[in-house]
Structure 1
Amino acid sequence: MTQRLFPVLIIALIFAAPSSANADESAVLVVHFINGALGDGSFFDSAARGIAEAEAELGIEVVTIEAGYNSSAWRELLEAAAAGEDYDLLITGTALMRDLLSEVAKKHPDKRFIIYDSSVDYSEGSYENVYSVVYRQNEGAYLAGVYAALMTESGTIGILGGQNSTTINDFVVGYRQGAQSVGPEVVVLVEYAESWDDPALGEALAAEMYGKGADIIFQAAGTTGLGVFRAAAESGKYAIGVDSDQAMMIEETDPEEASTILTSMMKNVDASLLWALELYVNGVLPFGGAETLGIREGGVGLARNDRYDEATPAAVKAAIDRAELEIREGRTRVKTAF
């Protein structure tokens, strides 16, 4: 029984479990605090999908708080959520929430927390009540770079980041390394939107890169990045999605834009949260430390869907499989911005 609660309701929310007459009072109550909003078709939707699967499979109860993109409101909202008495586990994500989550976890040592796509600093104090899961997005971005460099006809590719931050630059570093492993002459254009929820801006920035000769753009910009697909459709160029299999997600609602997405760099947030919640319900989630998931662990990779199969030559597929194997076996070390 997932409930979606917006900031104006948050103070009322958090002191009560879901109120359905059929609610199981013995069920684990999970609060999912999103520092943004659902509907990005990638990162937050992937997290929510994994938690929803856990709700269906494990019988947990979930309250979802969409805190919006105004970061000045996050502290008060998160502190209110953490102060609630009825929940068992609070989940939040992204590096933007790391410091705030660190503070509330220290204030509430009797509560349990999960942070995904970031980690508290376990060296600076005791966080025995926090489980962190991070993803080697640089490895997934490396594969996207290899793919784009093999598929480009112009010799110029691009990447749009939502923010000039360490996490996004981890995408940029891996993407550039992967592309230039194919050929050092491949030009990689980089733009930062400094916004996560402005598709029109994403479309404008992508159009500029397409105008400069890029024929494939990788987007890592949340809802802003959805504008890349519109720009690709309008210019007759191509795109690479992020975090979820974005071509499959939008195929029914916008087949024209979906047809521009050659593949997506998967960050399997959904699978990792489903796995973590199963461990939690079984009493064996390893709080007090961080898990790091890359290609070897199945945490990141490329979407291999029907679109990928149809658009990708056999030689390119073989090259991607080779690059993935070399990372898995440690023969290729991908650079990181961290």
Structure 2
Amino acid sequence: MNKKVVVLLCIAVLVVAGCSQAKKEAAIKVAMVTDVGGVNDQSFNQSAWEGLQRAEKEIDIKASYLESTQDADYKPNMETLFDAGNELIWGIGFKMADVLSELATMNTEQKYAGIDCFFEAPTPNLVGVLFREQEPSYLVGYIAGKMTKTNKVGFVGGMDFFVIHKFHYGFLAGVKEGNPDCEVLVQYADSFTDAAKGKAIANQMYKNGADIIFHAAGGVGDGVIEAAKEQNKYAIGVDKDQNSLAPDNVITSAMKRVDNAIYNLTKTLVEGTFPGGTNVVYGLKEGGVGIAPTSYKHVSAEILEEVKGLEAKIIAGEIVPPTSSEEWEAMQ
């Protein structure tokens, strides 16, 4: 190979490398602020980060995050990400709604989005993302009602507020659909991070006769699952497929596909179709919620077939799981 050809090849390699680096530097920057559970919570925040990581891999954005250790971190974390030049900033959790609304009003050219946030009149640069958590909760409740041997199951909630109520009352309705005689024990931990408290609550529920416990409590649920392992009982996970945390004990999970929502909305930013000024809702119909794919490990084929039928009825509007105590009482 003569020297001229070698020189030309070297130039070509440098040009390609330079273009690749320029493309990387030009990638749209998108970031998220976690709630207090942290990015490795095996649940809500982790699912959000996985969605951003997927977007980084598939649609050429540059993703990053900042973790919050207390509520007071939300605003400064978002301001830091704003100063860093992120085109879209995500807030993960309903408690960030006020901060997101405030900053979106202040920084009208900056795009913001909030998971589990509903905005009464969102500005054109702000999107709220909500889920019909009651739908997968109804399905796992039905599974619990069918599988309990003691006619007693439990629900452990994190904070006592509307999002967790959707899990609570959807689960309750599903249990009663599967087993009208089943009792449902309920306790809220007043925390999303206190795993020790979750374990203590679960141990007491198991002692009181529950043999399956569903948690919607973030890191508190780690303690619930730990108790299930130690007591050789069953647990139902939330947000992600949590079977890997206790393969012999987590029989199913009410999955909330925060990852899909993050990915889909981030993609609209890249495509120029960001739905600012709206609240977007994900349910079974939209592929935003569902039961864990590992459910077959513990749940019989017969019950899973029944669950498919219930899912179809929910999508068709023939079954409307309750979201609150008022809706539950109205069904009685």
Q: Same-fold call, TM > 0.5?
A: yes
Q: CA deviation at 1:77?
A: 3.3
Q: CA deviation at 1:75?
A: 3.2
Mind listing any 5+ residue stretches in structure 2 that lack a counterpart?
1-20, 328-332
Q: CA deviation at 1:264?
A: 0.7
Q: Structure 1 residues 22 and 246, CA, compared in 2 at 3 Å: closer, same or farther?
A: farther
Q: CA deviation at 1:22?
A: 7.6
In structure 1, how many angstroms separate the alpha carbons of the residues matched to 2:160 and 2:255?
21
Residue of structure 2 aligned with 1:314, choices 301, 304, 308: 301
Residue 280 (str. 1) matches residue 276 (str. 2): no
Q: Report how many aligned residue pairs link the two structures.
A: 304
Q: How does 1:17-166 map to 2 (within 5 A)?
A: 24-36=24-36, 37-68=38-69, 70-82=70-82, 84=83, 86-122=85-121, 127-166=123-162
Contact between 2:134 and 2:170, CA under 8 Å: does it hold in 1?
yes
Give 3-state SS (helix, strand or coil) of 2:185's partner. strand
In structure 1, how many angstroms separate the alpha carbons of the residues matched to 2:134 and 2:287?
14
Q: Match of 2:164, as an amino acid?
A: I
In structure 2, how many angstroms separate the alpha carbons of the residues matched to 1:192 and 1:310?
29
Contact between 1:154 and 1:213, CA under 8 Å: does it hold in 2?
yes
Q: Structure 1 residues 277 and 78, CA, compared in 2 at 3 Å: closer, same or farther?
A: closer
In structure 1, how many angstroms separate the alpha carbons of the residues matched to 2:148 and 2:73?
42
Contact between 2:100 and 2:113, CA under 8 Å: does it hold in 1?
no
Residue 202 (str. 1) matches residue 198 (str. 2): yes
Instruction: Return the TM-score normalized by structure 1.
Output: 0.86
Contact between 1:39 and 1:223, CA under 8 Å: does it hold in 2?
no
Residue of structure 2 aligned with 1:325, choices 312, 318, 323: 312
Residue of structure 2 in register with 1:11 after alignment: none
Residue of structure 1 in register with 2:6 after alignment: none
Higher helix share: 2
Q: CA deviation at 1:23?
A: 7.8
Residue 267 (str. 1) matches residue 260 (str. 2): no
Q: Which has the larger radius of gyration?
A: 2
Instruction: Return the TM-score normalized by structure 2.
Output: 0.87
| CA deviation map 1:31-82 (0-9, x unaligned) | 21112212211111110001001011112112210012x2133334334444
Q: CA deviation at 1:191?
A: 1.1
Q: Structure 1 residues 324 and 87, CA, compared in 2 at 3 Å: closer, same or farther?
A: same
The 4+ residue runs of structure 1 with deviation greater than 6 A are none
In structure 2, how many angstroms separate the alpha carbons of the residues matched to 1:73 and 1:120?
21
Contact between 1:229 and 1:258, CA under 8 Å: does it hold in 2?
no
Q: Structure 1 residues 79 and 310, CA, compared in 2 at 3 Å: closer, same or farther?
A: closer
Residue of structure 2 in register with 1:295 after alignment: 284
Give 3-state SS (helix, strand or coil) of 1:258's partner. coil
| CA deviation map 1:277-332 (0-9, x unaligned) | 11210111211101111111111110122xx2232222211211111111011110
In structure 2, how many angstroms separate the alpha carbons of the residues matched to 1:85 and 1:218?
40
In structure 1, how many angstroms separate the alpha carbons of the residues matched to 2:84 and 2:241?
37
Give 3-state SS (helix, strand or coil) of 2:24's partner. coil
Q: CA deviation at 1:183?
A: 2.8
Q: CA deviation at 1:275?
A: 1.4
In structure 2, how many angstroms separate the alpha carbons of the residues matched to 1:204 and 1:258?
21
Residue 230 (str. 1) matches residue 213 (str. 2): no
RMSD: 1.7
In structure 1, how many angstroms separate the alpha carbons of the residues matched to 2:252 and 2:51?
21
Q: CA deviation at 1:237?
A: 0.6
Contact between 2:66 and 2:77, CA under 8 Å: does it hold in 1?
no
In structure 2, how many angstroms separate the alpha carbons of the residues matched to 1:277 and 1:181?
38
In structure 2, how many angstroms separate the alpha carbons of the residues matched to 1:107 and 1:194?
32
Residue 244 (str. 1) matches residue 240 (str. 2): yes
Residue of structure 1 aligned with 2:212, choices 216, 219, 227: 216
Mind listing any 5+ residue stretches in structure 1 that lack a counterpart?
1-20, 251-256
In structure 2, how many angstroms separate the alpha carbons of the residues matched to 1:76 and 1:64?
13
In structure 1, how many angstroms separate the alpha carbons of the residues matched to 2:218 and 2:40?
9
